[in-house]
């Protein structure tokens, strides 16, 4: 019977081993391809639209009711 501390320690060790295997497989998979892998953490700047830009102005959640 293991106590809580030992179970947590074993769990952390197992998670670390899984993480190392995943990283190793990721590196091995990336090495198979000639083109560089896409970095999902990179950001790109979206330039603002050219002005004047005419967009239809709409109210959110409002509907024009016909007069009866």
pLDDT of the residue at 27: 86
The residue ranking higher by pLDDT, 22 or 67, is 22
Express each pLDDT in 27-67 by its tens digit: 888 777 676 667 777 777 878 777 666 666 666 666 666 77
Q: Encode 3-29: b = buried (16+ Cβ within 10 Å), e = exposed.
A: eeeeeeeeeeeeeeeeeeeeeeeeeee
Q: How many helices (H) and strands (E) does the chain have?
A: 1, 0
Q: Are 2 and 10 in contact (CB under 8 A)?
A: yes
- The arithmetic mean of pLDDT across residues 16-33, rounded, is 88
Query: For 3, how many CA atoms within 13 A lie in the half-sphere containing its CB?
Result: 1
The residue ranking higher by pLDDT, 51 or 8, is 8
DSSP-assigned letter for residue 60: T
Q: Is residue 23 scored above 80 in pLDDT?
A: yes
């Amino acid at each position: 019977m293991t106590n809580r501390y030992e179970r947590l320690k074993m769990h952390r060790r197992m998670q670390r081993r899984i993480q190392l295997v995943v990283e190793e497989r990721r590196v091995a998979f990336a090495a198979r391809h000639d083109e560089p892998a896409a970095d999902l953490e990179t950001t790109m700047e979206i330039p603002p639209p050219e002005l004047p830009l005419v967009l239809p102005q709409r109210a959110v959640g409002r509907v024009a009711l016909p007069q009866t």
